Chains A and B, each alone.
Chain A
C-alpha cells in the first residue's frame, strides 16, 4: 500500500473524510507556503496538493490565478516546488504529497527528469489540470516505473463510464471529482445534485473519491464527507493566506 491508500484507510477507519488541502507554492512566498503546508499537515489536513504556478491558469478562478502570478513574479520554479516537497517529506513521512500542475511546466522541464526528481523528493502523485484520459499515457509512462501515481479528474460533464475509465489502472490513487462547471474558487452554494452524483460515482469506481472546487466551509465539507472519501479545499486556504501570509486555527477547521 502506498501513502495515499494508507491515508484513506486511516480516515475511513476514523469514520471521517480525508481533508485534501491545496496551496499555490510560492504564495505569498516560498517560506510562507512551506510554513502553511507544515501547519496544515500538522493540524488536520491529510493530503497536500502542491500547486505549481503557471502563467496561463485557464482552469483557475481569480484567487488562485492571482497567487500563481505573485509566485511567478518572485521567480518560483518547479525545482523550488520539488525542493519544498522534499523538506515536507522529511517532516511528514506519511502524508501523501501531490504535485498539482498544468502540463506545459512539466513538459518543459522534461518528463523523465521531472519524474526522477519528484520520486526523489518523496512525491506520491501528480495531478495535471489539462491532461485528460486521451493524453495522459505519455506522462504515466514515466511516472509508473518510478512508483508515482496520477490523480485523474472527473467533471460534472463526465459520464460515469468515462469516470470509470479514468480511474482504471489508478487504484493506488484517488479520483478528484470537480463539483461545479467552472473554474476553481469558493462558491456560496454547491450544486444541489452533487450528493447524488458523488454517490453514483463512488459506487461506480474502485478508488477513493475526493470532491473539490468551491469548497470553503465546514458544512460543505461535511456534506461531501457523507458520500465521498475526501474533500478538497483550495481557494479558501489561498485566500486566507492573502491576509498575513499565515494560516490561523480558524482557517483549518474543516471537520
Chain B
C-alpha cells in the first residue's frame, strides 16, 4: 500500500501550505516512534498521570439480565480526564515539545478531546486554543467550563451546523496561518497522513492492554470487540489489539441519530460514500453534488460526517463490520449501564454498549463481547435529561 494510504483511502488532500509542516511532522514522528526514550516517557505518563492500565470490568448484572454472552467493559472512562482521548493528546504533546512547537490547537465535539488537550497543555506549560462548534458549546457546557478552568481558550464556531466538522475547518485554518509555531492536536484518526497512523499508534494501548487482560482474566480472546465510531480513534485503538486475530469480530458502531432512513444521523460508513474531506479520502456523508452534509446525533462526539480512512478500508475488506445505533437505543443503553452496573457512560460509548445489548442474548454464555467504554458520562447529564424530555420514554431493560 502507498504510504499514508489504506487501500484507496487516506492520503494528504490538504492545502499546500500544510504539506511541508506535515512532512516535518511525519519525520519527527517516525524518529520519536523509534526512540526508546520517547516511548518510555509516553508510557510513564500514561501510568503515573493517566492511571493506566485501565481495568476490564465484567458487567455481571447486565450479562445476567440479558442471558447470553458475557459483556466485558474496557474502562477508558476511568482515565484521567474521563475518556480515551488523553492517550492521544499525551503522545501528540510530547511530540509537539520535541519539535519545539510553542502552542497547541485542537478541535473538539463532545469536549473530551478539548479537555484532554487543555490538560496536557497545562501539564507541559503550553498555551492552548480549542475550536468547538457553537451547538456543541451549548450541549457540552461542563466540558467548556473544564477547558477554561485548565487555562485554554475556547472559540465557539458558528458556521455550518456548528458542530465538530466546522470546528475542524477552523482549526485547520488556524494551523495554515500559524504552522511555524503551532502544533495541531487532532483528536481522532482523521486528517491527512500521518495523523490517522499516529493517533492510532497512541490509542493502540487500549487494544494491546485489553488483549493481554482478556487472556489473563478470561483465558481467551473476546468473540467480538465493539466500539463506537465518531472519527474512529477509540475503535481503532481497541481493534489494533485484535486485527491479527481472525477469530475476533471487530464491530464499529456509528451514530444512527433518528434513524438512517431519516437522513438525520452521523453514520458515515453505513450511510455515506467515498469522498475527500479534512485531508483524507474516506466515507463521507454528502449530497450527490459533493457538498458535506450537516450531521445529527444525540452524542456530540459522534456528530461528524467522516470517518478515519483505516475504518473505510476495514469496512471494504470486511475485516470489521459497521452498524448504526440510534439515539433511543443509545439512551436506553446509557440507562441500563447506570442501573445495572453503577457506571454512567458517555453517550458516545453508550452506542457501543447498545450494540452489545442487542447481540448478547443471541450468543452462548461462554462467548465474550468486549466493549470499549470510551468515556464517562458526567458531561452528558443535561443532554440525556433534555433528550428524555423531548422524546417518548425508552423501554427500561
CB-CB nearest in chain B for A101: B290
**Min CB distance, B283 to chain A, in Å?**
12
Across the interface, B19 reaches (CB within 8 A) one of A57, A58, A103, A132, namely A132
The reply to whether A77 and B289 contact each other, CB–CB distance below 8 Å, is yes
Knowing A55-B291, A77-B289, A183-B176, the reply to whether A157 touches B19 (Cβ < 8 A) is yes
Across the interface, A132 reaches (CB within 8 A) one of B14, B286, B289, B290, namely B14
Q: Which residues of A contact B287 (CB under 8 A)?
A: 108
- Interface-facing stretch out of B112-120, B218-226, B245-253, B273-281: B273-281
Most buried by A among B178, B277, B286, B291: B291
The reply to whether B19 and A104 contact each other, CB–CB distance below 8 Å, is no
Within 8 A of A (CB), among B224-270: none
Is A154 an interface residue when CB atoms closer than 8 A count as contact? yes
Q: Which residues of A contact B291 (CB under 8 A)?
A: 54-55, 72, 105
Is A130 an interface residue when CB atoms closer than 8 A count as contact? yes
The reply to whether A132 and B292 contact each other, CB–CB distance below 8 Å, is no
How many chain-B residues does the 8 Å CB contact rule pick out? 36
Is A106 an interface residue when CB atoms closer than 8 A count as contact? yes
Interface 1/0s, chain A 45-80, versus B by CB < 8 A?
000000000111111000001000100100001100
**Min CB distance, B55 to chain A, in Å?**
40
Across the interface, B290 reaches (CB within 8 A) one of A65, A105, A178, namely A105
Is B366 an interface residue when CB atoms closer than 8 A count as contact? no
Is A243 an interface residue when CB atoms closer than 8 A count as contact? no
Q: Which residues of A contact B290 (CB under 8 A)?
A: 54, 78, 104-109
The reply to whether B289 and A159 contact each other, CB–CB distance below 8 Å, is no
Q: Which residues of B contact A156 (CB under 8 A)?
A: 17
Inter-chain CB contacts under 8 Å: number? 110
How far is B175's CA from A155's CA once the two chains are assembled, in angstroms? 14
Knowing A104-B292, A156-B17, the reply to whether A132 touches B177 (Cβ < 8 A) is no
Across the interface, A181 reaches (CB within 8 A) one of B159, B169, B179, B288, namely B179
Across the interface, B17 reaches (CB within 8 A) one of A65, A105, A157, namely A157
CB-CB nearest in chain B for A159: B20
How far is B2's CA from A134's CA once the two chains are assembled, in angstroms? 11
CB-CB nearest in chain A for B19: A132
The reply to whether B176 and A59 contact each other, CB–CB distance below 8 Å, is yes
The reply to whether A155 and B15 contact each other, CB–CB distance below 8 Å, is yes
**Min CB distance, B120 to chain A, in Å?**
25
How far is B14's CA from A135's CA once the two chains are assembled, in angstroms? 10
Q: Which residues of A contact B200 (CB under 8 A)?
A: none
Across the interface, B16 reaches (CB within 8 A) one of A65, A72, A178, namely A178
The reply to whether B165 and A56 contact each other, CB–CB distance below 8 Å, is yes
Is B374 an interface residue when CB atoms closer than 8 A count as contact? no
Is B11 an interface residue when CB atoms closer than 8 A count as contact? yes
How far is B17's CA from A59's CA once the two chains are assembled, in angstroms? 10
Q: Which residues of A contact B30 (CB under 8 A)?
A: none
The reply to whether A58 and B169 contact each other, CB–CB distance below 8 Å, is yes
Knowing A58-B173, A106-B290, A108-B288, the reply to whether A130 touches B17 (Cβ < 8 A) is no
Knowing A132-B19, A135-B11, the reply to whether A104 touches B176 (Cβ < 8 A) is no
Interface 1/0s, chain B 131-167, versus A by CB < 8 A?
0000000000000000000000000000110000100
The reply to whether A107 and B275 contact each other, CB–CB distance below 8 Å, is yes
Across the interface, B275 reaches (CB within 8 A) one of A59, A69, A108, A182, namely A108
The reply to whether B160 and A158 contact each other, CB–CB distance below 8 Å, is no
A-binding residues in B (CB < 8 A):
11-21, 159-160, 165, 169, 172-173, 176-180, 274-279, 284, 286-292
In the A-B complex, the 7 residue pairs with the closest CB atoms: A108-B290, A155-B17, A182-B177, A157-B20, A105-B290, A55-B291, A155-B16
